[in-house]
Amino acid sequence: MASDKVLQLNDAEFDSAIGSDQPTLVDFWAPWCGPCKAIGPVVEELAEEYEGKLSIAKMNVDDNPVTPGKFGIRAIPTLILFRGGEVVDQITGAVGKTQLVDLINKAL
């Protein structure tokens, strides 16, 4: 079940979604990706916990090939943290919640 706190992004709206001063964590994923499914609930949990401080979005790389190409994403899941449209940091693979919290705290 997808959380209503997680934005579903597409290529057309990507730049405006990450351009705000509030940090945005984008989860690049695909429905067939096992590790993506494993990390999904953690991403949704973080969306609840950081509501108001951080935006969390997901982008299906199969449906939106332009943006992942622009950021050189070759493996999924890849989570990229943006602030003001700039990449703050990124992490690839199904990592634990602690690593994601550490990543988020760099931008807060």
Instruction: Please list the alpha-helical segments (H only) found in the chain.
Output: 14-18, 34-49, 66-70, 97-105
DSSP-derived secondary structure letter, 1: -
Determine contact, residues 15/59, Cβ cutoff 8 Å.
Answer: no
Neighbours of 86 (CB within 10 A): 9
Q: Looking at the annotation, which residues are catalytic?
A: 33, 36
